[in-house]
């Protein structure tokens, strides 16, 4: 009997020790992700689901760590699975949730956690029914919503979305994507800026109608009332985003998802993040589109402008002898026109990146690329690429679609033939991205460069056609430049050489400004190819953040070198970082610290956590 008791005692003791050991080990593994954001995923949804991957990829592009976790795993407190910097309850695939899950999330926030609550997340029970009165998470959201009983199908309404100019900037939305982008001159009046769409202007998003006073700071509004807001709950806080972020990112409108992820991580949680530009220096890709022989004289004229003394630029060319149809002789004709050939060689000598602008005949290719069988249209892509490579003597690796017409098969063809970057008229306002189309990522090593635009217009000729006042164009170029410098990001602007000629004075003034910023090391001109190479190298970087006893430790490694990778530490939470291993330059910047890695494949940084 005593032997059995001793054996039982030993087994219990072993299990307790093993449990403590396991909890410590798990705690240590989670501590390695002190900056991790948990993305809650229903048990019935695979972690490999494209909707989940879209969130994880967006976070990676923003330099953040989002970790998908099934509900059942999150509900195991013994394993400390809830330890995180913040929790995300996404829309679209996390509509249903049981009462226990809702209660657990409410307790997490009340006890000091931070939640990003998105659109229709947990608006239905686990059985798929709406609550009788309002969402069970209305108290967390800070306002009543999902009012199915009183509004029925009218509880969701589509309308324009607007916010203040400072809020748009905090969200990382570039000027022009919101309009107006300049504050009113009337004393005491705050300008309300509206999100806009390229070419069409009006941009409407669905959101739940909200009722009652909002218990927090409204970020965005729509006709439904609160489109996004931040408010305290208990000891924690909730960022309520009343927009279908998952649906939008899968429909080539990724800016809202990226914007709110960054806002949650940086402005709410004050997390460090990995920047998406070399050395943390923001800049612009200036993408020239050479369509036909109409560009020859304008290229010759522009070659005398001050802008040619800066750069490099991405200059994409339709190389064939024709434009609208075979035999019209309206093309730029790289193979047959000596003037065109010399212009291309001069661009290469200047350090610009020459790429393909569609396939061989600009207007013909644009009109037929999404109608004719791909096997018939591929030959034009091949001809264009070969002609440019023959005269430049180097591979063609970037691309812009004529009139923005780029069906998915073209992206697949480009990636299979060595291209690493392309201009894109989807996801407007964003930096370079590997976005999603029709439920899957559009490429693995090739990067889309969405355009920026000024309200409905993007190129100079569009601004002229729409009679955009010259002072507005000039202010926009200034504001866009300030934006990329301030946010340390890159954006793509494009034009056709004939369209820039009427704007000589404005362009000269713009380049005087960019020249001064370049001299100060605050601004760079990039090519698509340069940035794409950097981002592919950045994807191979592994880094993590640990936090213990008031000290945060960042460890990073790369297969070759970490040189030019840069992290930003928000000053309201972190003291000046110190290099413990490897090479890095540390400087104080606006509202934070910048760590720029030097040569070497490993880096360790420490920073004292100062609180918030």
| pLDDT tens-place string over residues 58-96 | 999 999 999 999 999 998 865 555 689 999 999 999 999
The per-residue pLDDT for 4 is 53
Calculate what percentage of the chain has a pLDDT beyond 70. Answer: 93
Q: Residue 78: its pLDDT value, please? A: 57
| Of the candidates 135, 68, 151, 66, the residue with the CA atom closest to the CA atom of residue 95 | 135
In degrees to the nearest 10, what's the CA dihedral of 134, 135, 138, 141? -140
More confident residue, 202 or 337: 337
Residue 73: what pLDDT? 92
Least confident of 74-83, 371-380, 398-407: 74-83
| 1 pLDDT more than 80 | no
Per-residue confidence band for 33, with pLDDT thresholds at 50, 70 and 90: confident
DSSP structural state of residue 352: P
**Per-residue confidence band for 190, with pLDDT thresholds at 50, 70 and 90:** confident
* pLDDT bucket at 461, cuts 50 / 70 / 90: very high
Q: Cis omega (within 30 of 0) on the bond before 309?
A: no
Averaged over 301-308, what is the pLDDT? Answer: 95
Residue 428 has pLDDT above 70, yes or no: yes
Percent of the residues in the chain that have a pLDDT greater than 90, as a whole number:
88
For residues 265-288, average pLDDT? 98
CATH architecture of structural domain 35-161+203-273:
3-Layer(aba) Sandwich (3.40)
- CB count within 10 Å of CB 341 equals 18
Q: Taking residues 302-319, what's their average pLDDT?
A: 96
DSSP assignment of 545-606: EEEETTEEEEEEE-SS--TT-EEEEETTTB---EEEES-EEEEEETTEEEEEE-SSSEEEEE
**What is the tens place of the pLDDT at every residue in 110-134?**
999 999 999 999 999 999 999 878 9
What's the pLDDT score for residue 81?
56
Bond preceding residue 528 cis, omega within 30 of 0: no
Res. 288: pLDDT tops 60? yes
Position 19 pLDDT exceeds 50: no
Say if domain 540-608 classifies as CATH 3.40.50. Answer: no
- The arithmetic mean of pLDDT across residues 461-476, rounded, is 97
Q: What number is the average pLDDT over the span 569-593?
A: 95
Yes or no: say if 351 and 311 are a contact pair by the CB < 8 Å rule. Answer: yes
Q: What is the pLDDT of residues 520-578, one digit of tens each?
A: 999 999 999 999 999 999 999 999 999 999 999 999 999 999 999 999 999 999 999 99
More confident residue, 497 or 435: 497
Query: pLDDT tens across 205-223, in order?
Result: 999 999 999 989 999 999 9
Residue 355's pLDDT band (boundaries 50, 70, 90)? very high
For the domain covering 280-535, report its CATH number.
3.20.20.370
User: Mean pLDDT, the chain, as a whole number?
Assistant: 93
Beta-carbon contacts of 565 under 8 Å, excluding residues fewer than 6 positions away, are 274, 275, 538, 541, 556, 558, 596, 597
Give the neighbor-by-neighbor strand order of the sheet with 273-274: 273-274, 566-570, 592-597, 584-589
* pTM for the full predicted model: 0.93
Q: What is the pLDDT of residue 21?
A: 37
Report the candidate in 124, 116, 133, 66 with the shortest Cα–Cα distance to residue 228.
116
């Amino acid at each position: 009997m005593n032997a059995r008791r001793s054996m039982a005692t030993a087994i219990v003791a072993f299990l307790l020790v093993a449990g403590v050991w396991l909890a410590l080990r798990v705690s240590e593994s989670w501590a390695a992700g002190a900056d991790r954001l948990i993305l809650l995923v229903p048990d019935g949804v695979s972690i490999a689901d494209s909707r989940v991957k879209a969130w994880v990829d967006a976070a990676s592009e923003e330099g953040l760590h989002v970790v998908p976790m099934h509900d059942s795993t999150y509900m195991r407190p013994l394993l400390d699975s809830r330890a995180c910097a913040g929790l995300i309850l996404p829309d679209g695939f996390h509509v249903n949730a049981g009462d226990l899950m809702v209660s657990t999330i409410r307790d997490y926030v009340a006890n000091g956690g931070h939640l990003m609550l998105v659109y229709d997340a947990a608006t239905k029970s686990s059985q798929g029914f709406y609550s009788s009165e309002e969402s069970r998470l209305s108290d967390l959201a800070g306002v009543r919503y999902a009012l199915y009983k009183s509004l029925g199908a009218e509880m969701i309404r589509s309308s324009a979305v607007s916010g203040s100019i400072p809020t748009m900037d905090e969200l990382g939305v570039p000027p022009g994507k919101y309009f107006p982008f300049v504050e009113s001159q009337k004393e005491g009046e705050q300008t309300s800026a509206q999100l806009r769409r390229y070419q069409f202007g009006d941009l409407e998003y669905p959101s739940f109608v909200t009722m009652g006073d909002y218990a927090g700071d409204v970020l965005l509004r729509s006709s439904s009332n609160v489109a996004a807001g931040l408010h305290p709950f208990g000891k924690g806080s909730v960022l309520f985003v009343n927009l279908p972020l998952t649906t939008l990112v899968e429909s080539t409108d990724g800016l809202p998802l990226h914007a709110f992820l960054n806002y949650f991580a940086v402005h709410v949680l004050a997390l460090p993040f990995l920047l998406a530009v070399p050395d943390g220096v923001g800049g612009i890709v200036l993408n020239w589109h050479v369509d036909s022989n109409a560009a020859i004289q304008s290229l010759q004229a522009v070659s005398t402008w001050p802008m040619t003394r800066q750069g490099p630029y991405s200059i994409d060319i339709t190389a064939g002898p024709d434009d609208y149809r075979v035999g019209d002789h309206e093309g730029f004709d790289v193979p047959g026109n000596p003037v065109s050939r010399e212009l291309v060689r001069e661009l290469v000598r200047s350090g610009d990146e020459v790429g393909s602008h569609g396939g061989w005949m600009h207007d013909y290719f644009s009109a037929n690329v999404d109608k004719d069988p791909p096997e018939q249209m591929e030959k034009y892509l091949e001809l264009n690429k070969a002609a440019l490579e023959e005269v430049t003597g180097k591979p063609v690796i970037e691309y812009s679609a004529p009139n923005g017409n780029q069906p998915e098969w073209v992206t697949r063809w480009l990636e299979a033939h060595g291209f690493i970057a392309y201009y894109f008229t989807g996801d407007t306002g964003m930096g370079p991205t590997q976005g999603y189309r029709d439920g899957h990522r559009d490429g693995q090593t090739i990067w889309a460069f969405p355009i920026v635009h000024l309200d409905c217009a993007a190129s100079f000729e569009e601004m002229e056609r729409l009679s955009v006042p010259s002072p507005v164009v000039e202010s926009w170029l200034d504001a866009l430049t300030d934006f990329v410098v301030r946010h340390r990001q890159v954006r793509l602007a494009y034009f056709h050489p004939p369209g820039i000629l009427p704007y000589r004075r404005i362009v000269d003034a713009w380049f005087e400004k960019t020249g001064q910023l370049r001299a100060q090391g605050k601004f760079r001109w990039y090519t698509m190819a340069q940035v794409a190479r950097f981002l592919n190298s950045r994807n191979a970087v592994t880094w993590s953040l640990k936090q213990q006893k008031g000290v945060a430790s960042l460890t990073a490694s790369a297969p070759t070198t970490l040189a030019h990778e840069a992290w930003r530490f928000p000053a309201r939470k972190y003291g000046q970082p110190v290099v413990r291993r490897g090479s890095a330059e540390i400087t104080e910047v606006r509202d934070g610290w910048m760590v720029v890695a030097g040569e070497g494949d490993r880096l360790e940084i420490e920073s004292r956590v100062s609180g918030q």
